[in-house]
Amino acid sequence: MSGVGSVLELENETNKKSPIHLLDGRIKLIILIFIIVYAVFSTQILVMMVLEIYLLMLVYISNVSFKTSIKRILLLLPFGGVIILLQPFIHPGNVIWAGAFGLQITDAGFMWAALLMSRLIVALTSIVLLSSISPMQEVVESFRRLGMPREFAMIFSLMIRFLFMFFDELNRIRHAQKTRCFDAFNKQISYKWRIKQLGYTVAMMFLRAYEKGETIYMSMASRGFSDESRLYQNQRKVGSSEYIFISTTLIMVVCLQILAIFIFNNLGIVGMYIK
């Protein structure tokens, strides 16, 4: 899945119609951040499993592709997974495996790594779900309506617009190269020549981005845009569907916390508190 294709595919996912897609952007943002924060402060793997099941139910209700969502989670997993892989070797505890060069895996380190991995999966699932049910511009608007400083909101909004413009330009360049039978991975062509052509492509992208940026700035300035300009905000009100979503999530978390305190701790390793 190429960079251009993945961005366009992600934006198409956000245009689907489902009860989750139609919710107010602020509510979706707050609830998913709340789930991430709750996961970070929880110390039981079984709690993470229940949260992940709840998030997967939201993915199903929102009609988002499970296959695509899992691919995105696996794509992001190595960024935190590398640090997690080191945890079993650096935490003190009872040694359950000993290898060469003094390497040892402890039970406490292994359980801590499992907890961190479960937290990471819940957080990534929340992020992937949010990016699949909320267009980027809606996320910006939600942050702005929640009190983000106007300057940051304006920069964030322009960045999103320039991002898609950048990918459009890149798509045009790649299409032009493809029509001329250029393949950067063709081993029959000199490696030095391929690198040279890719260098030309990068330079061309910078030049086109600079030219587009100047054109857009002049267009905005000619329409009276300045650092004092106010951005339009949709005045949508929170409705009954949003209250149902909030209530369902809060009830689930409260019940989960009660179970975690009185029941999960008696269910063995997956329910024990990990410190």
Q: What is the mean pLDDT of residues 194-223?
A: 81
| Residue 229 scores a pLDDT above 70 | no
How would residue 6 be classed by pLDDT, with cut points 50, 70 and 90? low
Structural domain boundaries of the chain? 3-134+237-271, 149-222
| pLDDT at residue 32, rounded to an integer | 93
Beta-carbon contacts of 263 under 8 Å, excluding residues fewer than 6 positions away, are 271
- Give me the pLDDT at residue 4, please: 46
37: its two tokens: 């924060």
Region 53-57: mean pLDDT is 95
pLDDT over 90 percentage in the chain: 21
CA nearest neighbour of 117 among 66, 76, 58? 76
Instruction: Among 153-157, 225-229, 247-251, 263-267, name the one with the lowest average pLDDT.
Output: 225-229
Confidence of residue 244 (pLDDT cuts 50, 70, 90): very high
DSSP state of 265: G
pLDDT given at position 156: 75
**Whole-model pTM over 0.85:** no
Question: Does the pLDDT at position 3 exceed 50?
Answer: no
Dist. CA 79–CA 193, nearest whole Å: 32
Q: How far apart are CA 13 and CA 161, in angstroms?
A: 18
Q: At what angle do helices 3-14 and 136-145 cross, to 10 degrees?
A: 60
Strand partners, 97: 105
Closest to 85 measured CA to CA, from 117, 122, 44, 107: 117
Comparison of pLDDT for 226 and 14, the residue scoring more? 14
CA distances from 199 to 169, 184, 209 (A): 16, 11, 15
With beta carbons less than 8 A apart as the criterion, state whether 268 and 261 touch. no
pLDDT in tens, 155-208: 777 777 777 677 777 777 778 878 877 777 777 778 788 788 888 888 887 787
How much is the pLDDT for 52?
Answer: 94
What's the pLDDT tens digit per position in 89-116?
887 777 777 777 777 888 788 888 888 9
Average pLDDT of span 196-224: 81
Neighbours of 197 (CB within 10 A): 13
How much is the average pLDDT of 121-148? 86
Most confident of 8-12, 38-42, 185-189: 38-42
